[in-house]
């Protein structure tokens, strides 16, 4: 049997070896030899081999639909990898999608479609150690060979005692203790900013004197219509920002028909159809509200461009949306013995106890005001792209002053209260501590959940909200 021609999405990959059907063997730096091929063929091939490998989409199904690719569904190119690596990639894609593009698309959560360049950047970030997969992803998207991506530095969360020093320092219990660095101007606001600049073939638009370039190919008529619409709406947008300066403004440019044929590489200009807006204290909040706004089912060829304008006045921490309902103000019962409980979340068992951090004497660096929250009886989490529900064990316990407070009961019977920073000083402390250990990103859709920390009720004093 003659060897079939190498598919276009393997262009530029050194020495692909034919295995069977449309399955090929290639070498991926940072991993080694792998099989690649259409999802349906590779899945059956993996099953026949009995090696427990997973057919992982090199470009996710939803993103192939976003860009109007002709190769999607069962014919989408995949790579055979171990389950943990597939889970890691899924989590990384979900994290980026959550921070930058308002979450992943599910049956119950609609998010914005993203452009071809944005999809390419997303997978270049995820596959930063695997240049061949970056090249394949760009081939699938009909883009040219990729630039060399910069690998982002690893983010290590330092424990309180080893945190980098700021202007406040002192000695506690014979050990040097420093306040913890965190830029308050970025609190709750930098989470959805772009991590990389995407090259554009688009049009410049100005609002409030600031020019920006859209990452979508459009024709001259659409460019004119966009600028006319921006000029018409600019006074209204500026007035809204001035009336509520603590809210930022999200502009959403909606296009129909912008696509690029993955085989020929020919581009079709997008037609600008409307401008939508959304408000929020953070870009994440604004994107979430925009995604949750009822609207007609978007067209298959509908794409969106987002531009975020920061609030004119920095919102207070109390104004930011919390993942759970607020039940009152909280403080440490004794700031000479500050402790935190760390948690892990898994789809199988829910919230599990990990370890206790502390006690630490932070009395000379306080106070540390907090907001106590109440965990609901059930929460939604994401698993394999679907929203699922996890029942939780909730109850009531007494705080240090014997006042009742709502708690979450962990797997070992430990009762904990979720707390939120109520001051920049508390936010700095929280930023130096680990958040929920969520290995697969099951809670990534929860707004601002990275700011939650957990304490036991006997460690704090809660003043119920009036």
CA distances from residue 337 to 287, 340, 361, 424 in whole angstroms, order as listed: 39, 10, 5, 20
Name the token pair of 148.
């060399």
Residue 158: its pLDDT value, please? 41
pTM here?
0.45
Alpha-carbon distance 446 to 319, whole Å?
A: 16
Residue 187: its pLDDT value, please? 28
Check if the beta carbon of residue 291 is closer than 8 Å to that of residue 298. no
Check if the beta carbon of residue 138 is closer than 8 Å to that of residue 131. no
Q: What is the 3-state secondary structure (H, E, C) of 160-219?
A: HHHCCCCCCEEEECCEEEECCCCCHHHCCCHHHCCCCCCCCCCCEEEECCEEEECCCCEC
Q: What is the 3-state secondary structure (H, E, C) of the chain?
A: CCCCCCCHHHCCCCCCEEEECCEEEEEECCCEEEEEEEHHHHHHHHHHHCCCCEEEECCCHHHHHHCCCCCCHHHCEEEEECHHHHHHHHHHHHHHHHHHHCCCCCCCCCCCCCCHHHHHHHHHHHCCCCHHHHHHHHHHHCCCCCCCCCCCCCCCCCCHHHCCCCCCEEEECCEEEECCCCCHHHCCCHHHCCCCCCCCCCCEEEECCEEEECCCCECHHHHHHHHHHHHHHHHHHHHHHHHCCCCEEEEEEEEECCEECCCCCCEECEEEEEEEEEEECCHHHHHHHHHHCCCCCCCCCEEEEEEEECCCCCCCHHHCCCCCCEEEEEEECCCCCEEEEEEEEECCCEEEEEEEEEEECCCCCCCCCEEEECCCCEEEEEECCEEEEEECCEEEEECCCCCEEEEEECCCCCEEEEEEECCHHHHHHHHCCCCCECCCCCCCCCCCHHHCEEECHHHEEEEECC
β pairing state of 302-309 and 259-260: unpaired
Residue 282: its pLDDT value, please? 77
Residue 298: its pLDDT value, please? 62
Residue 443: its pLDDT value, please? 83
Tens of pLDDT along 3-59? Answer: 889 999 999 999 999 999 999 999 998 778 899 999 999 999 988 888 788 899 999
The stretches in the chain having pLDDT less than 70 are 1, 72, 98-113, 145-220, 258-269, 295-301, 317-318, 384-385, 466
Count CB neighbours of 197 within 10 A.
9
Tens of pLDDT along 96-128? Answer: 776 666 544 444 444 455 778 888 888 988 898
Residue 192: its pLDDT value, please? 30
* Torsion angle (degrees, nearest 10) of CA 258, 283, 97, 73: -40
């Amino acid at each position: 049997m003659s060897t079939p021609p190498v598919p276009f999405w393997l262009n530029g990959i050194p020495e692909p070896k034919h295995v069977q059907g449309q399955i090929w063997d290639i070498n991926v730096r940072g991993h080694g030899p792998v099989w690649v091929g259409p999802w349906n063929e590779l899945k059956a091939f993996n099953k026949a081999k009995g090696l427990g490998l997973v057919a992982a989409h090199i470009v996710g199904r939803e993103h192939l639909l976003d860009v109007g690719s002709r190769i999607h569904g069962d014919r989408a190119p995949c790579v055979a990898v171990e389950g943990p690596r597939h889970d890691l990639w899924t989590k990384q894609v979900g994290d980026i999608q959550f921070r930058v593009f308002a979450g992943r698309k599910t049956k119950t959560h609609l998010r914005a479609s993203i452009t071809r360049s944005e999809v390419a950047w997303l997978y270049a970030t995820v596959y930063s150690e695997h240049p061949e997969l970056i090249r394949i992803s760009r081939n699938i998207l009909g883009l040219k060979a990729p630039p060399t991506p910069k690998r982002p530095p690893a983010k290590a969360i330092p424990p309180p005692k080893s945190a980098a020093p700021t202007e406040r320092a002192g000695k506690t219990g014979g050990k040097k203790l420093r306040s913890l660095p965190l830029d308050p101007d970025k609190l709750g606001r930098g989470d959805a900013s772009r991590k990389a600049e995407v090259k554009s073939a688009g049009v410049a638009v100005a609002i409030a004197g600031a020019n920006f370039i859209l990452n979508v190919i459009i024709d001259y008529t659409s460019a004119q219509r966009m600028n006319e619409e921006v000029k018409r709406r600019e006074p209204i947008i500026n007035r809204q920002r001035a009336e509520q300066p603590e809210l930022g403004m999200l502009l959403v440019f909606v296009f129909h028909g912008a696509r690029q044929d993955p085989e020929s590489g020919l581009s079709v200009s997008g037609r600008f159809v409307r401008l939508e807006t959304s408000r929020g204290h953070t870009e994440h909040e604004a994107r979430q509200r925009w995604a949750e706004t009822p609207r007609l089912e978007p067209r298959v060829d509908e794409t969106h461009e987002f531009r975020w304008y920061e609030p004119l006045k920095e919102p207070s921490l109390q104004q930011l949306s919390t993942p759970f309902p607020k039940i009152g103000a909280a403080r440490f019962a004794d700031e000479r013995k500050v402790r935190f409980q760390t948690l892990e979340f898994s789809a199988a068992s829910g919230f599990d106890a990990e370890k206790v951090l502390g006690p630490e004497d932070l009395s000379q660096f306080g106070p540390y005001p907090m907001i106590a929250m109440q965990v609901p009886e059930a929460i939604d989490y994401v698993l394999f792209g679907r929203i699922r529900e996890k029942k939780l064990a909730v109850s009531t316990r007494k705080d240090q002053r014997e006042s009742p407070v709502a708690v979450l009961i962990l797997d070992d019977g430990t009762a904990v209260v979720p707390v939120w920073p109520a001051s920049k000083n508390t936010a700095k402390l929280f930023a130096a501590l680990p958040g929920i250990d969520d290995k697969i990103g099951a809670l990534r859709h929860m707004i601002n959940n990275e700011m939650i920390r957990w304490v036991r009720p006997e460690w704090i004093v809660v003043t119920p909200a009036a």
